[in-house]
Structure 1
Amino acid sequence: MQILFLTDNFPPEVNAPARRTYEHCRRWVKLGAKVTVLTCAPNFPGGQVYNGYHNRIYQEEFLEGIRVVRVWSYISPNRGFLPRIADYLSFALSAVVVGLFKKSDLIIATSPQFFTAPAGWLLSLFKRKPWIFEVRDLWPESIIAVGALPRGRLIQALEWLELFLYHRADRIVALTDAFKLNMTNRGVKAAKIFVIKNGVDLTEFAPTPKDQNLAQQLGLTGKFVVCYIGTHGMAHKLDFILRCAAHLDRQDQTHFLLVGDGAEKENLLALKKQLRLTNVSMLEAVPRHEAARYLALADAALVPLKKTPTFKTVIPSKIFESAAMQKPILLGVDGEARALVEQYQAGLYFEPENESAFLNQLRMLKDNKALQESLMQGCRSLAAAFDRDKLAESMFEVLKGVCPSSISSLGR
């Protein structure tokens, strides 16, 4: 089976889409598939090409048996809406042109970014191959939710395109049950939609003692550390966390550790300075292999999102990584994510953007050792249920179902 996978994000980028694609693809290679990933030069989230890479028309490398083909796209540190759209569209166009010359039995296109999906459909049309639409986000609904674009004719056109692509895909892989329900309520056939949720590599994220040297270096010795590692974007509402930190007593031993980069990072640093916060440390993004070392410093893992009905349909990947390291989760996401965390008793939910709710749950967790131990056990159960190995195998079965004629070629 020869798989052509289109994705805007791929390692060494460290965001959730990059990681999921990489972890699935390397497992499919071990199962006998030949996988080519079409992506762009790594630049997320800062809009600057990583050291050692160049934004060229075509470049190729191999990563754990995966052929990685990087094509040109418009890359700019400008984080406005129009430069982002130019980035997404240029990658989609480059992917179509290069993808025409890559052998494949089937095509997978993952969102976000949304315009990767039309590229996948066009390639399937030109190459007469089946294609799978992996839906990681309900787009354009999600950009409305964060306030990036108001409702209007442009949104209506994008929603028409979204439904068009759902109907044209041979299969759809949705990351949550809520995504599937959204699609079926809009007329998409349920039989073609398969839910493969996010998960975690249990060999990479596991319970680890705190690095006391790192804790001392960061001034965290003796502190109750609440840790957030990931994108600092419009959706994550970290300004709310900073405002909550400002209301803690100066004698309180709680310390917030925020690690990462993103569109809101500069605004957050300015707010931290404005509020004169001494109980918040904001670090630059760290390489993926270092993430577990920083998360190990945590007494609680923070998973917040903006308060909007759209985010009731998502399950942030941070939940699974935090659970694998047995870090009790402070969850500011309602809906399916809340149901999951409460099902496994792996954390405490607080209403998104509700300051008193967050501070009450924080104090309860900090002051109750028995509760911490109980939630850690719940984390262990949650992580075991979402082992990335099992999830990758489940999605591989979907691939074989859409392309049965290629099964005999596996392992050749």
Structure 2
Amino acid sequence: MHLLFLTDNFPPEVNAPASRTFEHCREWVREGAQVTVITCAPNFPKGAVFDGYRNWPWQSETVDGIRVIRVWSYITANEGFVKRILDYLSFMVTATIAALFVRRVDVVIGTSPQFFTACAAYATGLLKRRPWVFELRDLWPESIKAVGAMKESAAIRLLERLELFLYRKADLIVAVTHAFKDALTRRGIDSSKIEVVTNGVDLANFHPMLKDATLVRDLGLEGCFVAGYIGTHGMAHGLETLLEAAAALQRRPDAQDVRLIFLGHGAEKAALVAQSARLGLANVRFIDSVPKSEVVRYWSLLDVSIIHLRKTDLFDSVIPSKLFECMGMAIPVLHGVPGESAEIVRREGVGEVFESSNAIQLEEALVRLRTDPERMARYRANGPAAGRKYNRTDLARRMLDILRKLQVR
């Protein structure tokens, strides 16, 4: 079985779409499938091509048995709506062209968040007369409106019509949450062609470990209770709430050893750094993005991981992938995302939930965990057991079984 996977994010990029795609494709190869990935030169999130790569019409390499074809695209930083649309559109065109030169394909897969990659998968499936799969990671363009990047307009309505067209034309939709499936069903999409394969964790890489002593020393974290956010610093994440909590903590005598670290990059990072400086936050440290192989060292620093999205109804349907990585590493979470993901936190007993965009609740939760070692120990103990329920290897095999059924229809 030959699977052709179209994605505009792939390692060495370290965001959630890149990790999910790579880890799934790697397992599919181990299970005997032939896998070709078409992607672009790695550049997320800064919009700068990684060392060792070029933004070239065609580059080919093999990564863990996966054939990876990289094509040219218009590259820009993860900021500015118009430029990002040009980025997405350019990849849609060049990926479709490149796909025509990949022979003997059985199934075509296109992954979101944005759905122009799914457009390329649809066109490829049509031209090759093969079934195509829409892997749904985000309800785009609804998420654009949710973060205020665009207002209701003719352009948004056009994108929404295109979105529904793709859902209807897909031979199969693989959603990452049950809430996404429910949302599509309410919009008239046949539920029988929607499968749910949640995000998960690569337990070979994300497992309990001691704090990295070198990083603790280099970052001046000796004797500190460390809370942190690791991931994209974007409009959707509402990280100003974390800075407001840090300001309140700095004024509390019982929280003088609490430190917040922010690892990553994104459209809002410069504004967040500036806000931290205005507030005079001595208990906050910003760290630039690091290679994928180094990320777990920084995860190991955390006593508590903060997961947060801006307060909006749309994000009730989202399950941030970092939740599962925290489980695997036995890191308790403070979870500022309502809905399906909050229910997982409560059910599995891996942390506590606070209201999105509520800095006071976050401050109180941090102090509560800082002063209750028994509660912390309970959350840590529950993490790995919960993580095994979301083992990426098992999830990848389940998705492969679904794709194989599609092949024989």
TM-score category, normalised to shorter length:
over 0.9
1:404 deviation in Å?
2.3
Partner of residue 410, structure 1: none
Partner of residue 191, structure 2: 190
1:8 deviation in Å?
0.6
Does 2:384 align with 1:380?
yes
Consecutive aligned runs of 4 or more in structure 1 exceeding 4 Å deviation: none
**Amino acid in structure 1 at the alignment position of 2:282:** T
Q: Is the 8 A contact 1:124 1:130 kept in 2?
A: yes
1:25 deviation in Å?
0.2
Aligned mate of 1:371, from 369, 372, 375: 375
Q: Is the 8 A contact 1:228 1:303 kept in 2?
A: yes
State the secondary structure of the residue aligned to 1:371. helix
Percent identity of paired positions between Structure 1 and Structure 2: 49
Aligned mate of 2:284, from 276, 280, 286: 280
State the secondary structure of the residue aligned to 2:101. coil
State the secondary structure of the residue aligned to 1:194. strand
Partner of residue 268, structure 1: 272
Does 2:169 align with 1:168?
yes
1:216 deviation in Å?
1.4
Partner of residue 206, structure 1: 207
Q: Is the 8 A contact 1:7 1:116 kept in 2?
A: yes
- State how far apart, in whole Å, the 2-side matches of 1:78 and 1:172 are: 26
State the secondary structure of the residue aligned to 2:305. strand
State the secondary structure of the residue aligned to 2:248. coil
Partner of residue 221, structure 1: 222
State the secondary structure of the residue aligned to 1:256. strand
Q: Is the 8 A contact 2:46 2:266 kept in 1?
A: yes
Which of 129-138 and 109-118 deviates more? Answer: 109-118
Does 2:63 align with 1:63?
yes
The one-character-per-residue Cα deviations of 1:183-229 (angstroms, maximum 9, x if unpaired) are 00111111100000000010101000112221011010111000211
> How many residues get paired?
405
State the secondary structure of the residue aligned to 2:52. coil
Does 2:350 align with 1:343?
no
The one-character-per-residue Cα deviations of 1:113-167 (angstroms, maximum 9, x if unpaired) are 3200111101111110000100000011111111111112111111111111111
1:249 deviation in Å?
3.5
Does 2:331 align with 1:330?
no
TM-score under structure 2 normalisation? Answer: 0.97
- State how far apart, in whole Å, the 2-side matches of 1:112 and 1:33 are: 25
**Amino acid in structure 2 at the alignment position of 1:43:** N
The one-character-per-residue Cα deviations of 1:280-311 (angstroms, maximum 9, x if unpaired) are 01000111111111111111011011000000
Question: Within 5 A, what are the aligned runs for 1:90-101?
Answer: 90-101=90-101
Q: Is the 8 A contact 1:110 1:116 kept in 2?
A: yes
Does 2:236 align with 1:232?
no
**Amino acid in structure 2 at the alignment position of 1:270:** A
Q: Is the 8 A contact 1:351 1:357 kept in 2?
A: yes
The one-character-per-residue Cα deviations of 1:329-366 (angstroms, maximum 9, x if unpaired) are 01000001101111101111000011221111111111
1:381 deviation in Å?
2.2
1:78 deviation in Å?
7.5
Aligned mate of 1:310, from 293, 310, 314: 314
State the secondary structure of the residue aligned to 1:298. coil
The one-character-per-residue Cα deviations of 1:261-288 (angstroms, maximum 9, x if unpaired) are 1111111111111111110010001111
The one-character-per-residue Cα deviations of 1:230-281 (angstroms, maximum 9, x if unpaired) are 1111111111111211111354211001111111111111111111111001
1:57 deviation in Å?
0.7
Q: Is the 8 A contact 2:113 2:137 kept in 1?
A: yes
1:76 deviation in Å?
2.4
**Amino acid in structure 2 at the alignment position of 1:205:** F
Partner of residue 400, structure 2: 396
State the secondary structure of the residue aligned to 2:27. helix
Does 2:6 align with 1:2?
no
Does 2:255 align with 1:255?
no
Partner of residue 149, structure 1: 150
- State how far apart, in whole Å, the 1-side matches of 2:170 and 2:229 are: 36
**Amino acid in structure 2 at the alignment position of 1:233:** G
Partner of residue 25, structure 2: 25
Q: Is the 8 A contact 1:8 1:113 kept in 2?
A: no
- State how far apart, in whole Å, the 2-side matches of 1:295 and 1:78 are: 23
Which of 247-256 and 312-321 deviates more? Answer: 247-256
Aligned mate of 2:362, from 355, 358, 363: 358
Q: Is the 8 A contact 1:42 1:53 kept in 2?
A: yes
**Amino acid in structure 2 at the alignment position of 1:305:** L
- State how far apart, in whole Å, the 1-side matches of 2:308 and 2:338 are: 10
- State how far apart, in whole Å, the 2-side matches of 1:76 and 1:398 are: 35
The one-character-per-residue Cα deviations of 1:5-29 (angstroms, maximum 9, x if unpaired) are 0001000000000000000001100
- State how far apart, in whole Å, the 2-side matches of 1:160 and 1:249 are: 48
State the secondary structure of the residue aligned to 2:265. coil
Partner of residue 181, structure 2: 180
Partner of residue 409, structure 1: none
- State how far apart, in whole Å, the 2-side matches of 1:78 and 1:354 are: 26
Partner of residue 75, structure 2: 75
**Amino acid in structure 1 at the alignment position of 2:305:** A
**Amino acid in structure 2 at the alignment position of 1:13:** E
Partner of residue 243, structure 2: 242
- State how far apart, in whole Å, the 2-side matches of 1:327 and 1:188 are: 38
